[in-house]
Chains A and B, each alone.
Chain A
């Protein structure tokens, strides 16, 4: 008779680093910066970092849903700009760019911005889900089209003088904490709940992890794929409105190349581009890592060119770590 012994895997430092690597990297970075710069750990700066991370963080959380299904959304920067100018046109007190009868209550402007984002997401999602066109191509087209629509809608010029009520979502604070931080944490909490506690969330993982098995088990692949792009569009819309509120103008040139930082946050956070693996917690930490890095390097006076090189190295390092993790499994 053969005896099979099962030995539990040995705990090792390597395993620990791999599982919590990103979080450790964030802690280490914060530690180093706190030692070097006396201003890093001040309340003001911490709030700055969190606030500066909020826009990219919201974009990245939406991006996580899409990447989990093996898709990608390159259009989020442009969609954010579109939502920004749409909302701005309803919440401006200046005659240039104002929608007739304005300015409207902030709620109306925000709903309009969200609707604009979801509309773009729906178009992208429909083409990806229904016609099977690769997401890269579809959202690349949307990147261009949405930017064009933004420029057309705003006649190429910024829409300034937004109402204080609308600007509150970008510049206001509750109990001394800036509103964008609440929006980021709120988005994170909802996304985390959806992905871990709901059936839809499990389906998202299934579609990305093993689409064939998912289809064979009868999951509505098209609806799920469609939905994640709508989510990404909605969150891009939210981020775009926070952006407009923060800068006080609906800028048609806003959000250029923002999708790159969003994808970077997702990838650094451990979500695999191959789909099916990853968590929004990782994305949040990835976004924070980028935000802390940007903030730290600014505090140290490092030129932005070097910052971009470092960010590139971080992304590649994260993906390499991810790949080595997969090989070991």
Chain B
């Protein structure tokens, strides 16, 4: 009897809770995974977009759980549910193409963000040039070690556009320093824990021979720093770089342990939402502040195919200001 009553009560509360009919445009953000800070920052910024806050549109964030099949199924749900626009950060560039094409066939515009899908059916893409950041971080590190010595590269998930393009940038810079040797190159899937394990093993194998650590993102570089500390060495004995500018990395930069490049996930989120809304409401004027913040990236009526948010190298001068924005 209690079981039945419970089931009935749950059913009732579900019906009551969802009884509000919404006629606002629905935008879905299919993100590859929310375990690490960068995408969490993206999602948090998306929720704070003026149009979302004012209730102009309804935004739903989908966590892809780092699984291409989950993302595909989320697309199917959004198509069924009649979403008006989709913002997409795929875990895999090729598998993501299939999802985009399905949405396109259903007449739903897809705006890519942060990572690319291998398809020309994207309405637009708001991200940052990963080849450029890969080059910038590697170039900075090579300058630090004097264009000679041994480096290791910790990569993102193999097959995601960020990994492919940052590696391209890394290699471009490394080609400029032929005396530098790449001792190891492996993926840690954007994970701090995996990066730590990799670095521990490389320290065991190579000891003091490693001069520089190129982390394709901050989380993995931070993992490398933990491994270095655990081995009783000082991070300042190595040249370490990462990308993203997540909070812990900013603190590490302040402590002098590593260098980083800020990826403005908030700007990517706001930019893609503005473009998505423009697709649904042709008279819409962008409400986010980012278009003034980045005059080098003009709005152009929201109709460009590519919007590249500039990178901001994190230095001792700007790190405090950046940390203040994270409070």
A contact set with B: CB distance below 8 Å: 17, 25, 28, 31-32, 35-37, 39, 42, 44-45, 48, 52, 55, 156-158, 160-161, 243, 246-249, 251, 253-254, 256, 294-295, 298-301, 303-305
Contact = CB atoms under 8 A, between A and B. Distances in A.
Interface in B59-111: 60-63, 65-69, 72-74, 76-77, 79-82, 92, 94-95, 97-98
Which of B62, B66, B94, B157 lies at the interface centre, i.e. has the most chain A CB atoms within 10 A of its CB? B94
Contacts of A42: 80
Contacts of B18: 36-37, 300
Given A32-B11, A36-B18, A299 B80 contact: yes
Interface of B: 3-4, 7, 11, 14-15, 18-19, 60-63, 65-69, 72-74, 76-77, 79-82, 92, 94-95, 97-98, 118, 157-159, 187, 189
Contacts of B77: 48, 295, 298-299
Given A299-B77, A304-B62, A246 B15 contact: no
Nearest to A32: B11
Contact of A248 (B4, B11, B76, B98): B98
A25 B189 CA distance: 39
A247 B82 CA distance: 22
A44 to B, nearest CB: 5
B260 to A, nearest CB: 26
A28 B15 CA distance: 13
A266 B320 CA distance: 53
29 contacts: A17-B3, A32-B14, A37-B18, A39-B81, A44-B80, A48-B73, A48-B77, A52-B73, A156-B187, A157-B159, A158-B92, A158-B159, A247-B68, A247-B69, A247-B92, A248-B95, A248-B98, A249-B68, A249-B92, A249-B159, A251-B68, A251-B159, A254-B67, A254-B68, A295-B77, A298-B73, A303-B63, A304-B62, A305-B63
B67 A256 contact: yes
Contact of A45 (B69, B80, B92, B157): B80
Contacts of A248: 94-95, 97-98
Contact of A243 (B15, B19, B66, B69): B69
A247 B95 contact: yes
A39 B65 CA distance: 24
B303 to A, nearest CB: 29
A298 B80 CA distance: 11
B162 to A, nearest CB: 14
Contact of B11 (A28, A39, A300): A28
Contacts of B68: 247, 249, 251, 254
Contact of B94 (A25, A160, A295): A160
Contacts of B73: 48, 52, 294, 298
B76 A52 contact: yes
Nearest to B58: A301
A37 B4 CA distance: 23
A46 B157 CA distance: 33
A324 to B, nearest CB: 11
Nearest to A43: B80
B158 A156 contact: yes
Contacts of A158: 92, 94-95, 158-159
Given A158-B158, A254-B69, A39 B98 contact: no
B5 to A, nearest CB: 13
Given A36-B14, A247-B95, 14 more contacts: A32-B14, A36-B15, A44-B80, A45-B80, A52-B73, A52-B76, A157-B158, A158-B92, A160-B94, A160-B95, A249-B92, A254-B68, A298-B77, A301-B60
Contacts of B187: 156
A35 B15 contact: yes
Given A161-B94, A248-B97, A48 B80 contact: yes
Contacts of B3: 17
Contact of B95 (A39, A55, A251): A251
A131 B274 CA distance: 63
- Top 7 A-B residue pairs of the complex, sorted by shortest distance between their CB atoms: A160-B94, A247-B95, A158-B159, A298-B77, A301-B60, A304-B63, A157-B158
Contacts of A48: 73, 76-77, 80
A301 B59 CA distance: 9
A301 B24 CA distance: 15
Contacts of B63: 303-305
Contacts of B61: 303
Nearest to A167: B98
Nearest to B18: A36
B72 A247 contact: yes
A249 B94 contact: yes
A16 to B, nearest CB: 11
A157 B187 CA distance: 10
Contacts of B76: 48, 52
A160 B161 CA distance: 14
Nearest to A35: B15
A28 B82 contact: no
B94 A253 contact: no
A128 B11 CA distance: 44
A246 B69 contact: yes
